[in-house]
Chain A
Amino acid sequence: MSAETLARIQFAFTVGYHFIFVPISIGLGVMLILAERRYYKSGLAIDKATSEMWKKIFAATFAIGVATGISMEFAFGTNWASYSRFVGDIFGAPLAAEGLMAFFLESVFLGVLLFGRNRVSKRFYYVSTWIVVVAAHLSALWIIIANSWMQTPAGYRIDARGIPRLDDFFKAAINYSTIPRYFHVVAATWVAGAFVVAAVCAFYLLRDRDKWMVRRTLGSALVIGLIATIAMPLTGDRGAKEVTARQPVKLAAFEGLYQTQDDAPMYIIGWVDTANQTVKGIKIPGGLSFLAHGSTSDEVTGLDQAAPNPANRPPEQIVFQSYHFMVGIGMLMLLIMVVALFEHVRGKLERRRWLLWILALSFPLPFIAITLGWVSAEVGRQPWIVQGLMKTKDAISPTVSAGDIGFSLTIFALLYLVLFVAWVRVVSKVIAAGPQLDQAETPEQPDRRRPITPGPAEVDA
């Protein structure tokens, strides 16, 4: 394999892997705030135990997120040296800013979160939880700023040597796609956090254990899950309109639209026949026109006009399928959250074992959807690494050989496999153990407003 192919595989693998853990730390962080807030307000040992449990999962996930995040920062220099030289004037700044504004905050206060329970005041501990989670959201902002600039570059001019130079910092940072993409990504992490928490809660209910904890946790997770799953298509729609305007090739590839046409259809499911340049599948006539322009009859630019030269098109099948499965899974998750919350509000969720099984087993869905979303966004931009400015094939490191990358890719694969096994071990251990009431804790006044332990009637019901 060529160095370029290996470099592409390595980046896709390491960044895809990294972004399994990132959504958990951001999304679970939100759940952690809720848990810590309950403890801050109630002072109950059970709320503390619950928060501690999420914190253990959060910490193990965060550790892998940090570790695999260092790879990403290094990767631009090691494998994509030409890219780094080309975009350094603009792309480097958000990475440095992420370090100074977000990552320091996140890491330093994580220390407080993990070790400071008995060293800082209760109020400050609660505030520290907020700081860590807000910093994680800030971190994501800078990364999305950097990535969005690759999708819809703005705020630059081309200098005499043909290199983009920063012209307007705010235009470059808040470029055309930054805001919709940021909210899309953040909502996705919240979906992930909600599904993880809901899965653990459903698991406990199925096992008939730790019900007091589930009753204080599940409702808020489902509410956040529903809000976030609703936000996904809304933010996605905003993003798609930017894609229509700024990345017509990507939009056409999403739907396999080869010919520019009015009444462009949207497929529910389909297969791209790349040889005949058509799509076979179930379609909604005019759907794409409606999504892109708000009217079913409007013209949508197809690949024929957006990228007349086939060399400037992304691999249509991958983009089409990843996009469609992302949307499909998104809708499925929305459905699950609607049904689950509905049953929860009616107070019947605990008895709907089939629904609990669905909740307990559907935690991988957000991660599959997130990965597919990144594939459609990043592969959909190909052959460009920076849309319209630089092609991916021109971005690699001239001096790094295929052997070098093959070697590092092998180690990455092995190392990341070990990390994954270790992470699964730790997380499943924490979940199996459940919330651990601190024995040394002095017995506290039970909260009279809510039942903490299920009464016999509730258990039997």
Chain B
Amino acid sequence: MAINIKEYIASGILELYVLNQLSPEEIAEVESLSTQHTEIAQEIHEISLGLEKYGKLMAVTPSPKVEGELFNNLPKRTPNNSPSASANQTNSTPPTKGFSILNYILAAISIGSFLLYLNQTNTIKTSEVTKNREMVACDSILKLQQNQYAFIQKINDRSNQIIKLAATEKYAGIDLYLHANKVTKKNILQMIKAPTLSQNQAFQLWALKDGSAPQPMDVFTSQENFVDIGFVDDVTTYAITIEPAGGSQSPTMANLIGTMTVE
């Protein structure tokens, strides 16, 4: 592809490339051109360095506990399988006295071909491993993004009714929301600020219907921000309590966190 490099650089596309703002097609184009034109590769490097310096100037120091938590919970990482060096080593044995020159030449060609074969095999294997890793990473990211997208759709569903928890005096300051959807018959609990549970405790949801005893529902200990919870038709109010682990058949009123009334 014939391009005017100066114009291409001046177009601003490289800045957008560094900021990860291009489409996959544009990214492929920039990467292809940067391998062909050192000026483009150099410009990408310079833009990156400029942003790095700006990022450092705008730094904010996190609390020291972050480092401790990160390294205390760091999972083990399997070291890379670097290409074997054995392919470049030869274990030559002394030739027998009766070897002719032709035999030496044939042996040298054979060894050379074998080494070339090993080298190419290693290169292909390394490339395959890298490709497989990238594919697994892509699949995993895609799956994660699909899940997140599905979840965002669920949260942003226009037929959702968002109800703030009316907290009891004991649990004032607790910040929970119920995302109730009568159309899809799904409920999601959003826990912005939830009480802390001890080891033997769990949250329990209750469905309250006029004239009936509280109906026990989900028991959970998750401290995640969003928790999928059950849906019951014709319920006017949901309540949430802290119960012994495993849940209870009737709510412990002393541990009533609050109620959420559905319209």
A and B part of one assembly: no
